[in-house]
Chain A
């Protein structure tokens, strides 16, 4: 399927939104790194 220009634009915007907002959405768990090698 050949994407129309407007579809390309939309795809790029969705991709941007996912890339930028994705890390924001998961930042709390992202900053909880488990302890390794010892017991907490």
Chain B
């Protein structure tokens, strides 16, 4: 076909050239037509609009044409590319870069083990273009899926290189819901090592029809990445450089009272407390005096004295100054900062970012290669935070024989993380001891440093126990984790017969990681570390995957068959780790410290050994289509895993799907606005076993001196470690199974100007593994077994609409892509007799309840209907412990009958029965809109993410809005709106020194806030340098751009970031002041040679 087009274009060119001879006396214009990569395109038609004048480009893409006048417009056309019209004007050289005319439904998509034309896909599959993944610099490519792929939920935070909670089509289980990530055919645990610049294709397999080829690991969806490779037809070396320099700014946060306001509201709390009790207020403070008006001290601490007013002989004080507890009592001189310390400003900074990627690719008749070097270096907005990734990738493929190809994909990576907070790669930053929350617990009157350069802090009396977060971050500045990874595969493809290809691939990865952590003693806080703790550790792990497939692909007239069978064996990771910690090294110089140099008595060592999980799988897929009109696909995979005992080791996961291209039917032929319409439907099953320990099948024993000690020798003179039961096994445990149904359509309308993909889906998960509770007498120290008992349901709608075209004859070209997904999650059943289990432990107890009939990780507590306005209001309301004017008034929604059963009706008493569901953290709707405008050499691109229908549990309010939570600690600006005896109020409760059921000890809806937000994630203005100018220097492509990321967020949420969440599926949405995603400004360049 390509040859036909080529010869047609050449013939046309010859005819047009003959015609042009007659007009040789007209003005001559020359130029070059290039493709999207900047390579000259031969045989491209160049016509003068409205005339018969025309020519075609030569082998280098160059053309020469006579035009009648300056008003001439050149029309450039080539099969597979968008037509381009260029006004000649006074120019004598006109260069044009053509854009591929690929509509969404004509692309080639990489699915499980194969590639296929989008037209023939029968399952629910979404793709993301490589440009979208690099549009916004990020340390972990998974963050770029947020809002861009319908059906994918990403909950992340603002730390560089952080891992996110990524969920495809909801939450199938109570844990282990991470999707399977496949890179170049190999399963991996994380994608943080991958350079986004190296990615060629990204496909998200969402339903069983597309994903169950991955069987037992597909229930959470599959993300398939392939990396770039050279093209054998390229002929010449291509060099590309992509670079970004930028800065991320922390933004202004000012939600803590200044020193004078803090003192005034402290006095207000004392006044309110006394008024509630009918007493005279007794004003008293370690810092603000004891008069009826608070007085800000000049010094918060001078030696043992607190709240000192007046001047000091600093020279004399300096003699007594001591910050080293080992040299005697600590003696600090802490002046008050009457202007106020903004602790958020103190722990944050504008953070620099730079990313570079240099790649070389090319190929000849028999070989092709792609080599890239990548650097990603980003500071976090929190001080001392940095993420670095250095990558080296080499992919190549060689035709060894006519029917035999071998190739390899290999990447070596160095990762460095410093100062990242939270476990699980930063995902666990939702923590009330985090440095971020500390910044909102520290009173503003405390300065960062004392009078002589040491740290200041709550060692000054009257401020309770928050820690100086600047000091904490400074002391942790040398803590980090570092990894060296290798990852890749070698493969061989053999065309056994004309239509039969056998492929074998062996690959895997190794990782060597190391971490160290310095925890020096502190002196400036009310509660200090007295010891210096040092810990370090290292580990080494390896994984492997061995895949063999045979694929038969043939066409018999109108019938096409694509059959695949395969065998796969893999190990998820075998390795060892060692770690050690020690106390009080002789010197505190970090260059001196090792575990060996710590005190002999305090050293603790440990090690682990893991053999991972082995999988052995056989699978097959059969695709049939009749004339691309009727398509049928069947998939089956049988998986065996060492995670389960032999009786339930194997699981079989089938799927069937079909598609009907309605637009090919006669009855739709006359409907001109429909270019293509395909209706799809599928059913299938997928498995999940991530949420179960491989040892779950065994009853195990362990030795411990502390847990099971006895004198085994009977000497009665000492103890020996004894054995205790450490795990109760369940050999009957088996796969969690998700059954999905999916119905959808792909439509291309108005000659490809509008593409629509629409899916309605449901996913029922049964045999959910749930940690049962066994009677204590069975083994009080033993881990309870996971049993297959619970059920979960997810349902939703995914929509993707793309429209493209020109804005009249203005020369503006546009593409708008909108995605949206609706999600509903529901727990269907737990263990018989168990209706719920709780999570989300806070100082108010568990605030999350996972209950049958509710969404996972739902918030649970009392619903606040208002505040008590008066004693009369209290008397007229249902009985509530601690009720008083200005305090929370809870809804009376439940009671019990004579038999003790819940009635669902209020009973005049507020008690635990009145707790209810207050919201959940999973957005009902996630979506985004990507707009690209192109005008001549300029491009403008934006991406706006939209997330609706979810709530956050803003627990940081517990610390800042209630006086007794931490008496003397920072007070939030919310209290300015609090209820007072003078003016009343109905939102923020009275600020008083009382802690009870009606104030701050219960989970209630005061902490719940709508999280709805829209965020302009990307705004980018780019300029492509004219190719006639570049060609003089041998440059094929040069593009520079300015970018703003996360320029604004529209939300009513009062916390730092409405989009941040917790670590685990059952504790999502808990906000303790998690690291926010903030604004950034970048400048970038793309160069091609």
| Contact indicator per residue, chain B 615-643, by CB within 8 Å of chain A (1) or not (0) | 01000000000000000000000001110
| Interface assignment of A1: CB less than 8 Å from any CB of chain B | no
Knowing A19-B504, A30-B569, A32-B642 are in contact, say whether A39-B702 is a contact too (CB < 8 A).
yes
| Interface assignment of A24: CB less than 8 Å from any CB of chain B | yes
Knowing A36-B611, A39-B723 are in contact, say whether A31-B649 is a contact too (CB < 8 A).
yes
| Interface assignment of A16: CB less than 8 Å from any CB of chain B | yes
* Residues in chain B within 8 A of chain A (CB atoms): 494, 502, 504, 546, 548, 567, 569, 608-614, 616, 640-642, 646, 649, 694-695, 698-703, 723, 726-727
Contact A33 B612 (CB under 8 A): yes
Contact B695 A31 (CB under 8 A): no
Q: Nearest Cβ distance between residue B626 and chain A, in whole angstroms?
A: 32
Knowing A27-B640, A30-B569, A31-B649 are in contact, say whether A38-B702 is a contact too (CB < 8 A).
yes
Q: Which residues of B contact A12 (CB under 8 A)?
A: 494
Contact A23 B616 (CB under 8 A): yes
Knowing A35-B695, A36-B609, A39-B723 are in contact, say whether A19-B548 is a contact too (CB < 8 A).
yes
- Going nearest first, the 9 A-B pairs with the smallest beta carbon separation are A33-B642, A38-B700, A39-B701, A36-B609, A23-B569, A27-B616, A31-B642, A38-B702, A33-B611
Q: Nearest Cβ distance between residue A38 and chain B, in whole angstroms?
A: 4
Partner of B613, one of A20, A23, A33, A38: A33
Q: Which residues of B contact A37 (CB under 8 A)?
A: 608-609, 702
Q: Which residues of A contact B613 (CB under 8 A)?
A: 33
Interface centre among A12, A16, A20, A33 (most CB of B within 10 A): A33
State A33–B697 Cα separation when bound (angstroms): 11
State A27–B616 Cα separation when bound (angstroms): 7
Contact A35 B616 (CB under 8 A): no
Interface centre among A31, A32, A35, A39 (most CB of B within 10 A): A31
Q: Nearest Cβ distance between residue B847 and chain A, in whole angstroms?
A: 34
Q: Which residues of B contact A7 (CB under 8 A)?
A: none
State A39–B726 Cα separation when bound (angstroms): 9
In the complex, residue of chain A having the shortest beta-carbon distance to the beta carbon of B613: A33
Q: Nearest Cβ distance between residue A23 and chain B, in whole angstroms?
A: 5
| Contact indicator per residue, chain A 1-37, by CB within 8 Å of chain B (1) or not (0) | 0000000000010001001100110010011111111
Q: Nearest Cβ distance between residue B495 and chain A, in whole angstroms?
A: 11
State A31–B260 Cα separation when bound (angstroms): 68
Knowing A38-B701, A38-B726, A40-B700 are in contact, say whether A31-B614 is a contact too (CB < 8 A).
yes
Apart from A16-B494, A38-B700, what are 9 other A-B pairs with CB-CB below 8 Å? A19-B546, A23-B567, A24-B567, A37-B608, A38-B695, A38-B702, A38-B727, A39-B702, A40-B698
State A40–B612 Cα separation when bound (angstroms): 17
26 contacts between A and B (CB under 8 A): A16-B494, A16-B504, A19-B546, A19-B548, A20-B548, A20-B567, A27-B640, A30-B614, A30-B616, A31-B614, A31-B616, A31-B640, A32-B642, A32-B646, A33-B613, A33-B642, A33-B694, A34-B611, A35-B698, A36-B609, A37-B608, A38-B702, A38-B727, A39-B702, A39-B723, A40-B698
In the complex, residue of chain B having the shortest beta-carbon distance to the beta carbon of A38: B700
Q: Which residues of B contact A33 (CB under 8 A)?
A: 611-614, 642, 694
Q: Which residues of A contact B723 (CB under 8 A)?
A: 39
State A34–B613 Cα separation when bound (angstroms): 10
Q: Which residues of A contact B702 (CB under 8 A)?
A: 37-39
State A4–B695 Cα separation when bound (angstroms): 52
State A32–B156 Cα separation when bound (angstroms): 37
In the complex, residue of chain B having the shortest beta-carbon distance to the beta carbon of A27: B616
Q: Nearest Cβ distance between residue B1063 and chain A, in whole angstroms?
A: 25
In the complex, residue of chain A having the shortest beta-carbon distance to the beta carbon of B567: A20
Q: Nearest Cβ distance between residue B748 and chain A, in whole angstroms?
A: 41
Q: Which residues of B contact A16 (CB under 8 A)?
A: 494, 502, 504, 548
State A23–B799 Cα separation when bound (angstroms): 42
Q: Which residues of B contact A19 (CB under 8 A)?
A: 504, 546, 548
A-B interface pairs (CB < 8 A), number: 62
Q: Which residues of B contact A32 (CB under 8 A)?
A: 642, 646
Q: Which residues of A contact B641 (CB under 8 A)?
A: 31
Q: Nearest Cβ distance between residue B501 and chain A, in whole angstroms?
A: 12
Q: Nearest Cβ distance between residue A33 and chain B, in whole angstroms?
A: 4
Q: Which residues of A contact B612 (CB under 8 A)?
A: 33
In the complex, residue of chain B having the shortest beta-carbon distance to the beta carbon of A12: B494
In the complex, residue of chain A having the shortest beta-carbon distance to the beta carbon of B723: A39
Q: Which residues of A contact B703 (CB under 8 A)?
A: 39
In the complex, residue of chain A having the shortest beta-carbon distance to the beta carbon of B502: A16
In the complex, residue of chain B having the shortest beta-carbon distance to the beta carbon of A21: B567
Q: Nearest Cβ distance between residue A4 and chain B, in whole angstroms?
A: 14
Q: Which residues of B contact A38 (CB under 8 A)?
A: 695, 700-702, 726-727
Q: Which residues of B contact A31 (CB under 8 A)?
A: 614, 616, 640-642, 646, 649
Q: Nearest Cβ distance between residue B432 and chain A, in whole angstroms?
A: 32
Partner of A36, one of B504, B548, B610: B610
Q: Which residues of A contact B642 (CB under 8 A)?
A: 30-33
State A39–B610 Cα separation when bound (angstroms): 14
State A32–B727 Cα separation when bound (angstroms): 19
State A16–B548 Cα separation when bound (angstroms): 9
Contact A23 B695 (CB under 8 A): no
State A16–B567 Cα separation when bound (angstroms): 12
Q: Nearest Cβ distance between residue A16 and chain B, in whole angstroms?
A: 6
Q: Which residues of B contact A35 (CB under 8 A)?
A: 695, 698, 700
State A37–B693 Cα separation when bound (angstroms): 13
In the complex, residue of chain B having the shortest beta-carbon distance to the beta carbon of A16: B502
Q: Nearest Cβ distance between residue B217 and chain A, in whole angstroms?
A: 15
Q: Nearest Cβ distance between residue A3 and chain B, in whole angstroms?
A: 12
Q: Which residues of A contact B649 (CB under 8 A)?
A: 31
State A27–B700 Cα separation when bound (angstroms): 25
In the complex, residue of chain A having the shortest beta-carbon distance to the beta carbon of B569: A23
Q: Which residues of A contact B616 (CB under 8 A)?
A: 23, 27, 30-31
Q: Nearest Cβ distance between residue A36 and chain B, in whole angstroms?
A: 5
In the complex, residue of chain B having the shortest beta-carbon distance to the beta carbon of A13: B496
Q: Which residues of A contact B608 (CB under 8 A)?
A: 37
Q: Nearest Cβ distance between residue A27 and chain B, in whole angstroms?
A: 5
Partner of A39, one of B548, B611, B700: B700
State A12–B610 Cα separation when bound (angstroms): 36
Q: Nearest Cβ distance between residue B779 and chain A, in whole angstroms?
A: 13
Q: Nearest Cβ distance between residue A24 and chain B, in whole angstroms?
A: 7
State A23–B544 Cα separation when bound (angstroms): 14
State A35–B700 Cα separation when bound (angstroms): 9
State A9–B422 Cα separation when bound (angstroms): 56
Q: Which residues of B contact A24 (CB under 8 A)?
A: 567
Q: Which residues of A contact B614 (CB under 8 A)?
A: 30-31, 33
Q: Which residues of A contact B698 (CB under 8 A)?
A: 35, 40
Interface centre among B608, B613, B642 (most CB of A within 10 A): B642
Q: Nearest Cβ distance between residue B984 and chain A, in whole angstroms?
A: 62
In the complex, residue of chain B having the shortest beta-carbon distance to the beta carbon of A37: B609
Q: Which residues of A contact B727 (CB under 8 A)?
A: 38
State A27–B194 Cα separation when bound (angstroms): 32
Q: Nearest Cβ distance between residue A6 and chain B, in whole angstroms?
A: 14
Q: Nearest Cβ distance between residue A22 and chain B, in whole angstroms?
A: 9
In the complex, residue of chain A having the shortest beta-carbon distance to the beta carbon of B574: A33
Q: Which residues of B contact A36 (CB under 8 A)?
A: 609-611
State A27–B642 Cα separation when bound (angstroms): 10
Q: Nearest Cβ distance between residue A10 and chain B, in whole angstroms?
A: 13
State A38–B502 Cα separation when bound (angstroms): 43
State A40–B700 Cα separation when bound (angstroms): 5
Q: Nearest Cβ distance between residue B603 and chain A, in whole angstroms?
A: 21
Q: Which residues of A contact B700 (CB under 8 A)?
A: 35, 38-40
State A39–B703 Cα separation when bound (angstroms): 9
Q: Nearest Cβ distance between residue B833 and chain A, in whole angstroms?
A: 30
State A24–B610 Cα separation when bound (angstroms): 24
State A35–B612 Cα separation when bound (angstroms): 10
State A34–B614 Cα separation when bound (angstroms): 11
Q: Nearest Cβ distance between residue B733 and chain A, in whole angstroms?
A: 15
Interface centre among B641, B700, B723 (most CB of A within 10 A): B700
State A32–B546 Cα separation when bound (angstroms): 18
State A40–B548 Cα separation when bound (angstroms): 35
Q: Which residues of A contact B569 (CB under 8 A)?
A: 23, 27, 30
